[in-house]
């Protein structure tokens, strides 16, 4: 694990919120790299300071009971059920997919744009050779 990856995981490492294999893997940079070790110590100090100076509040028993009832309520559990789309959304999705497919297919059969640089080079060569096209020939080639 490199230092940058460890920096992303330092809070979880200090809080011991990682799985045991991840915790062991994040211990390696601390042993191998002094800047990672210093970052861990600093983060640990900040965590300790915040915990020691933060106000501590107890959850009122009524609130705790309401939360537990809400978690155990069948109505609350049903709210996590997957959302069913109405049939009109399937029509919208089908139309969008059809449009994308139609654009892709028509782009396959479209003729390539003219190579303007090659056309200009041909005109310059003809002009150098003295074979200048007439005005009517130019107009005819544009149509």
Over residues 38-65, the pLDDT tens digits come to: 888 888 888 888 878 777 778 888 988 8
CB atoms < 10 A from the CB of 9, how many? Answer: 17
CA distance 136 to 134: 5
Q: What is the pLDDT of residue 35?
A: 83
Specify the DSSP element, H or E, that contains 76.
helix 74-78
What is the arithmetic mean of pLDDT over 82-103? 83
On whether the CB atoms of residues 36 and 6 are closer than 8 A, the answer is yes
Q: How far apart are CA 46 and CA 72, in angstroms?
A: 37
Give the Å distances, CA to CA, from 52 to 49, 56, 82: 5, 9, 42
- The whole-number pLDDT of residue 78 equals 52
**Predicted local confidence at residue 139, as pLDDT:** 72
Ranked by mean pLDDT, the top range of 26-30, 68-72, 81-85 is: 68-72
Neighbours of 25 (CB within 10 A): 16
Q: Please provide the average confidence, as pLDDT, over all residues in the chain.
A: 78
Burial class (CB in 10 A: 0-12, 13-18, 19+), 26: buried
């Amino acid at each position: 694990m490199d230092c940058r990856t460890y920096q992303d995981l330092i809070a979880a490492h200090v809080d011991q919120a990682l799985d045991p294999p991840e915790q062991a893997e994040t211990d390696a940079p601390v042993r191998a790299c002094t800047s990672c070790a210093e970052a861990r110590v600093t983060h640990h100090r900040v965590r300790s300071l915040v915990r020691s100076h933060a106000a501590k509040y107890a959850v009122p028993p009524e609130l705790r009971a309401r939360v537990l009832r809400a978690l155990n309520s069948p109505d609350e559990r049903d709210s996590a059920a997957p959302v069913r789309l109405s049939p009109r959304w399937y029509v919208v999705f089908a139309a969008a997919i059809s449009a994308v497919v139609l654009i892709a297919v028509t782009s396959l059969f479209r003729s390539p744009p003219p190579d303007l640089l090659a056309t200009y080079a041909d005109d310059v060569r003809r002009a150098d050779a003295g074979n200048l096209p007439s005005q009517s020939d130019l107009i005819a080639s544009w149509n």
